[in-house]
Chain A
Amino acid sequence: MAQDDYAARLMEDMDPRLLEFIRKGVNSFIKWDLVRFFHDNPHTADTAANIARYTGREAGATEKELLSLTEAGILQTSRVSNMTVFTLATDEEVRALIRRFILACEDRQFRIKAIYHVIQGMR
């Protein structure tokens, strides 16, 4: 128990804004992939089915995660005819946070902590 607490405290040793971003936004590996995809391709505007093709994921699971990212304010949607089109949120604060997250992911220690929190969130 004490060891678990120690591990949890160790894993929480990161920028609180990024920790919240992971817990509330990027709390699954598909979402992590999608956030990276939109970071790399910030002017993408497409349907869930096409984004699933671009990211090599299953369409149904991708759509669920895209909608969740939209609820978290990371993406936004628009209706084009009968299609739901996903784009990156235009909010500059959100974009800056995504940039910080992607930059932080270059550090192995941060990635380990982030993975820990994603797995905790998936339980």
Chain B
Amino acid sequence: MERKATGITGLDEMLRGGFLPQTANLVEGAPGTGKSTLGMQFIYHGITACQEPGLILTFEEFPQQYYRDAASFGWDFPALEAQGKLRVVMTSPEVTREDLQWVGGVLERHAAEIGAQRILVDSVSHFERITRDRLGLREIVFEFVNALKRVGLTAILTRESGALFGGGGDLSQDLAFVTDSYLLLRYVEIASEIQRALLVLKLRGSDHAKDIRQYTITGHGLEVQAKFEGQQGIMSGSPTPSMADAFGLAFGRPRARK
């Protein structure tokens, strides 16, 4: 089965090769967890390793910010734009929503002009500006996702979760329902240290890794590492030692691993 690799060490293995083509994939996390970086890496890898041009659709974030952020990872976005392989499009949720309902709209034109196959939408949280109604929002995102698929794009949609630690709430569940996959990025506090955790909660139409992995943001982007061991309640943000480890700590049983 064809996959759209992200180019992120460890994540593609968790996704069994990458996202499925023409799917919408929700990446949710608190500010600073690396949602936009993950999305930019997906776009950059598509252009440079898979010859798949890409779009970045930004709501309220200036393209210059993406150029700067990308440059810090060694990705030259202005050069890719000049080569016609990338476009960073800034607009608003209300325009995008209406635009995609028409044939030959702005986004469709950009996609056609560069032959885009991938898109990063950063972020769908801004659709909440159009309506605060849960059902209404779900309907808007559903229409939006279907329009992206109609244009032939494989999408990463980011969404900011309100809480720094722990879950994303009911709205996240609604949006997860209308997307094809759901990745959670979380801060985790372990022994007075903040670490980052990644979980693929859902990947429609495919098997995927179910474990919770640590990841770091390096000078080359995200790197997904080994799974958390000896901890439970990771996604709550404040995990506790697993029963076996707690027993070992309490009674001095030597731990089997590091």
State the A residues within 8 Å of B (CB).
40-41, 43-47, 50, 54, 78, 80-81, 83, 85, 87
Q: A81-B98, A83-B98, A85-B99 are in contact. Are A44 and B105 (CB under 8 A)?
A: no
Residue from A44, A54, A80 in contact with B89 in the complex, judged by beta carbons closer than 8 Å = A44
- Give min CB distance, A85 to chain B, whole Å: 6
Flag whether B141 is at the interface (Cβ < 8 A). Answer: no
A85-B64 contact in complex given A41-B90, A45-B89, C-beta closer than 8 Å: no
Q: What are the nearest 7 A-B pairs in CB distance?
A: A81-B98, A45-B106, A43-B89, A44-B90, A50-B92, A80-B98, A45-B91
* Among A44, A45, A47, A50: residue with most chain B CB under 10 A: A45
User: What distance in Å separates the Cβ of B117 from its nearest Cβ neighbour in chain A?
Assistant: 17
B110 at the interface (CB under 8 A from A): yes
Nearest CB of chain A from residue B119's CB, rounded to whole Å: 13
Is B1 interfacial (CB 8 A cutoff)? no
Cα A44 to Cα B60 with chains together (Å): 10
Expressed in whole angstroms, the minimum distance between the Cβ of A46 and any Cβ of chain B is 5
Q: Which A residues are in CB contact (< 8 Å) with B60?
A: 54
Residues A87 and B106 in contact, CB atoms below 8 Å apart: yes
Within the complex, the shortest CB–CB distance from A64 to chain B, in Å, comes to: 20
Please, which residues of chain B bring their CB within 8 A of the CB of A54? 60, 62, 90
Question: How far does the alpha carbon of A85 sit from the alpha carbon of B97 in the complex, in Å?
Answer: 13
Does B95 reach chain A (CB closer than 8 Å)? yes
Q: Which residues of B contact A40 (CB under 8 A)?
A: 62-64
Q: Which residues of A contact B101 (CB under 8 A)?
A: 81
Contacting residue for B99 out of A41, A44, A45, CB 8 A: A45
B88: interface (CB < 8 Å): yes
23 A-B pairs in the complex with CB atoms less than 8 angstroms apart:
A40-B62, A41-B62, A41-B63, A41-B90, A43-B87, A43-B89, A43-B90, A44-B90, A45-B89, A45-B91, A45-B106, A46-B92, A47-B95, A50-B91, A50-B92, A54-B60, A54-B62, A80-B95, A80-B98, A80-B105, A83-B95, A85-B95, A85-B106
Complex CA distance for A40 and B66, rounded to whole angstroms: 12
Chain B interface helix/strand/loop/mixed: mixed
* Alpha-carbon distance between A51 and B95 when the two chains are bound, in angstroms: 12
Which listed residue, B62, B64, B102, B110, touches A80 by the CB 8 Å rule?
Answer: B102
Q: Which residues of A contact B62 (CB under 8 A)?
A: 40-41, 54
Q: From residue B143, how far is it (CB to closest CB) to chain A in Å?
A: 13
A34 to chain B, nearest CB (A): 14
> In whole angstroms, how far apart are the Cα atoms of A80 and B87 in the complex?
20
Task: Please give, as numbers and ranges, the residues of chain B lying within 8 Å of A43 by CB-CB distance.
Answer: 63, 87-90, 110
A46 lies within 8 A of B91 (CB): yes
Complex CA–CA separation, A50 to B89 (angstroms): 14
Q: Specify the chain A residue showing the minimal Cβ separation from B105.
A: A80
Chain B, range 106-160, C-beta contacts under 8 Å to A: 106, 110
Does A44 lie within 8 Å of B91, measured CB to CB? yes
What is the chain B residue whose CB lies nearest that of A37? B62
- For A46, the chain B residues whose CB sits under 8 A away are 90-92, 95
Residues of B within 8 A of A80 (CB): 95, 98-99, 102, 105-106
